[in-house]
């Protein structure tokens, strides 16, 4: 499997928007980085889980009243060269989620 690595050195750094971040939290979107090797350094992807906070980051969670909540991890198509580049994309993704689902 061939990985496409993106290095966004020439692009402007995305600024963190706390309104978009808070919207994602309030609407149960869990957004996080996934390192593709065991060292914690190197290539990363950005993951999103809708209902991920309610499911406590797992695929499913059963509430005390017996209600089952499901969540699925979706990884970004892009693979980023390092954590910094992936984080910049994650900041952009908060706004994308808010525009698409808000």
Domain assignment present for 33: yes
Tens digit of pLDDT for each residue in 58-76? 999 999 999 999 999 999 9
Domain assignment present for 6: no
Domain assignment present for 43: yes
Please state whether beta strands 79-80 and 29-35 pair in parallel, antiparallel, or not at all (unpaired): unpaired
Domain assignment present for 2: no
pLDDT at position 40, please? 81
Cβ atoms of 21 and 92 within 8 Å: the answer is no
Domain assignment present for 9: no
pLDDT at position 6, please? 55
Domain assignment present for 95: yes
Note down the domain range covering 44: 16-101
How many domains in the chain? 1
Tens digit of pLDDT for each residue in 17-40? 999 999 999 999 999 999 999 888
């Amino acid at each position: 499997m061939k990985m496409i690595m993106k290095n966004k050195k020439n692009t402007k750094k995305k600024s963190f928007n706390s309104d978009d971040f808070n919207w994602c939290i309030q609407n149960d979107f869990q957004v996080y980085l996934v390192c593709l090797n065991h060292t914690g350094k190197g290539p990363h992807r950005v993951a999103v889980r809708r209902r991920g906070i309610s499911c406590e980051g797992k695929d499913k969670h059963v509430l005390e009243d017996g209600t089952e909540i499901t969540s699925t991890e979706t990884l970004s198509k892009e693979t980023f060269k390092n954590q910094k580049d992936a984080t910049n994309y994650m900041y952009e993704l908060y706004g994308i989620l808010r525009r698409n689902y808000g």
